[in-house]
Structure 1
Amino acid sequence: MEKGRLEAFSDGVIAIIITIMVLELKIPKGADIHELRELVPVFFSYVLSFIYVGIYWNNHHHMLQAVQSVNGAILWANMHLLFWLSLIPFVTAWMGENYFARWPVTCYGIVLIMNAIAYTILMFTLVRHLGKDSLLARAMGRDYKGKVSTAIYAAAIAISFTNPKISFALYIVVACIWFIPDKRIEKKIVGEEPSCD
Structure 2
Amino acid sequence: MESDRFEALIDAILAIIITIIVMEIPLPETTSLSSLIELYPDFLAYALSFVICFEVWNYHHNLFNVVNKLNSTVTWTGSIAIMIVGLLPHVTTMIATNFYSFTAQAMFGVVLLITNLNFYLADLLLLRVDKANIALRLALNKRKKITTISFILQSIGFVLGYLLYPPIIFVACVLSVSVALCWSKIKDYI
Q: What TM-score do you get using the length of structure 2 for normalisation?
A: 0.89
Matches within 5 A, 1:1-197: 1-131=1-131, 134-141=134-141, 143-162=144-163, 163-180=165-182
Q: Deviations over 1:143-189 (max 9, x none)?
A: 22211111211221222212112222221111211123669xxxxxx
Q: What TM-score do you get using the length of structure 1 for normalisation?
A: 0.86
The 8 Å contact of residues 55 and 181 in structure 1, kept in 2 or not, is answered as no
- 2:148 maps to amino acid: K
Question: Structure 1: how far apart are the matches of 2:184 and 2:7?
Answer: 18
Question: Structure 1: how far apart are the matches of 2:33 and 2:140?
Answer: 48
For this pair of structures, how many residues does the alignment match? Answer: 183
The range that moved more, 133-142 or 150-159, is: 133-142
Question: Structure 2: how far apart are the matches of 1:132 and 1:69?
Answer: 10
Once the two structures are TM-superposed, the CA of residue 133 in structure 1 deviates from its matched residue by 5.1
- 1:138 maps to amino acid: L
Structure 2: gaps spanning 5 or more residues: 186-190
Structure 1: gaps spanning 5 or more residues: 184-197
Structure 1 residue runs of 4+, over 4 Å off?
A: none
Question: Structure 1: how far apart are the matches of 2:36 and 2:133?
Answer: 53
Q: Which has the higher helix share?
A: 2
Identity of aligned residues (%): 26
CA RMSD, 1 decimal: 1.8
Partner of 1:112, secondary structure, is: helix
Larger radius of gyration: 1
Question: Structure 1: how far apart are the matches of 2:105 and 2:134?
Answer: 38
